[in-house]
């Protein structure tokens, strides 16, 4: 084997996945590490647990859980409050999570979710954020149907007449909502556009309660949109995902059927970017 062959062989061996990497059988898992991750995940869902409570709730021996905790403590992933005799998530867990958030791209994460949403509903899937009081569309996966909604990346749309816009408005606190609505004219685009502020606020209350919004021909006659908010790690709505289509396919009787996959897609994407969906 010459030097070139050695170089190629070395490059192949340096890859991060060995042959048969997709084999998730027991022979390719480390049971002790899996148990440690289970303890870490369980502890992360609480505000702190005593060893006895942790072992009882997880159905594991106290000695086993204790060894896991001490090992994780050595890495800063958990910490022990000697005064309260409570174990909690440690600062290193936050450091690792922050590194994940820095490398997470909303658009990249959204593409497979949007594609699945389009296939499930048969309608165009859209992704957008709030930008200076307007909806900025970031991405779109178009339906295969001949008649379709079209919001290319970079398109701006008024929030009060947009499914994604109303989904985001509904999650704002009153001060920010007032400021956002005041920054742009509440313009009527069709006879269905809600221009009365009191009526719009009532609509936003209903949207927040049910978890999704409907643009009912409020921007374009003959087009209907259903949207849901996407939440970040702080539980704040940072984006929205929607499906849009003609009223001939997205009738008023289809809203309930189509809203379920939209809400589910928003929740999946929230978790994919490390977000927390408020209850």
CATH 3.30.2320.30 is right for the domain spanning 3-100:
no
Element (H, E) at 126: strand 124-131
* Cα–Cα distance measured from residue 258 to residue 271, given in angstroms and rounded to the nearest whole number: 21
- The number of CA neighbours under 13 Å toward the Cβ of 155 is 17
Q: Give first-to-last CA distance, the chain, whole Å.
A: 62
* Cα–Cα distance measured from residue 241 to residue 229, given in angstroms and rounded to the nearest whole number: 7
Query: Distances in Å between the alpha carbon of 56 and those of 34, 62, 63?
Result: 18, 8, 12
- The number of CA neighbours under 13 Å toward the Cβ of 102 is 6
The topology (CATH level 3) of 104-272 is Beta-Lactamase (3.30.450)
Domain with CATH 1.10.10.10 in the chain: 3-100
For residues 139 and 257, the answer to whether their CB atoms sit within 8 Å is no
Phi then psi dihedrals of residue 130, to 5 deg? -85, 130
Query: Residues 160-202: pLDDT tens digits?
Result: 999 999 999 999 999 999 999 998 889 999 999 999 999 999 9
Query: Residues 83-139: pLDDT tens digits?
Result: 999 999 988 888 887 776 565 688 889 999 999 999 999 999 999 999 889 999 999
* Cα–Cα distance measured from residue 254 to residue 162, given in angstroms and rounded to the nearest whole number: 18
Higher local confidence (pLDDT), 216 or 277: 216
Q: Is the pLDDT of residue 21 over 50?
A: no
* Cα–Cα distance measured from residue 220 to residue 46, given in angstroms and rounded to the nearest whole number: 47
Distance, C-alpha 41 to centroid of its chain: 19
For residue 157, which of 175, 176, 140, 174 has the smallest C-alpha distance?
Answer: 140
Q: Is the pLDDT of residue 9 over 50?
A: no
For residue 223, the tally of other CB atoms under 10 A from its CB is 21
* Cα–Cα distance measured from residue 57 to residue 50, given in angstroms and rounded to the nearest whole number: 11
Three-state DSSP class for residue 180: helix
Three-state DSSP class for residue 16: coil
* Cα–Cα distance measured from residue 66 to residue 46, given in angstroms and rounded to the nearest whole number: 17
Query: Residues 33-78: pLDDT tens digits?
Result: 998 999 998 988 777 899 999 999 999 999 999 999 999 999 999 9
Domain with CATH 3.30.450.40 in the chain: 104-272
pTM as predicted: 0.69
């Amino acid at each position: 084997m010459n030097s070139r062959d050695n170089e190629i062989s070395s490059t192949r061996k340096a890859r991060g996945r060995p042959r048969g990497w997709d084999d998730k059988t027991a022979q390719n898992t480390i049971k002790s590490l899996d148990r440690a991750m289970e303890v870490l995940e369980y502890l992360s869902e609480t505000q702190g647990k005593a060893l006895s409570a942790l072992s009882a709730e997880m159905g594991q021996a106290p000695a086993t859980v204790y060894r896991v905790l001490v090992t994780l403590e050595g890495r800063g992933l958990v910490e022990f409050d000697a005064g309260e005799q409570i174990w909690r998530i440690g600062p290193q867990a936050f450091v690792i999570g922050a590194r994940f958030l820095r490398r997470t791209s909303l658009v990249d994460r959204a593409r497979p979710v949007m594609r699945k949403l389009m296939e499930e509903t048969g309608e165009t899937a859209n992704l957008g954020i709030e930008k200076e009081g307007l909806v900025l569309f970031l991405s779109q996966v178009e339906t295969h149907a001949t008649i379709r909604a079209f919001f290319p990346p970079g398109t701006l749309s008024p929030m009060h007449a947009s499914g994604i816009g109303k989904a985001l408005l509904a999650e704002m606190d009153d001060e920010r909502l007032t400021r956002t609505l005041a920054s742009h004219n509440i313009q009527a685009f069709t006879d269905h556009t809600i221009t009365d502020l009191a009526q719009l606020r009532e609509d936003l209350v209903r949207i927040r309660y049910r978890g999704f919004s409907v643009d009912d021909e409020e921007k374009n006659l003959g087009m209907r949109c259903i949207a849901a908010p996407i939440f970040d790690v702080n539980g704040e709505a940072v984006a929205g995902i929607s499906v849009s289509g003609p009223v001939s396919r997205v009738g008023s009787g289809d809203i309930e059927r189509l809203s379920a996959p939209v809400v589910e897609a928003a929740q999946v994407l929230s978790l994919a970017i490390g977000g927390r969906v408020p209850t």
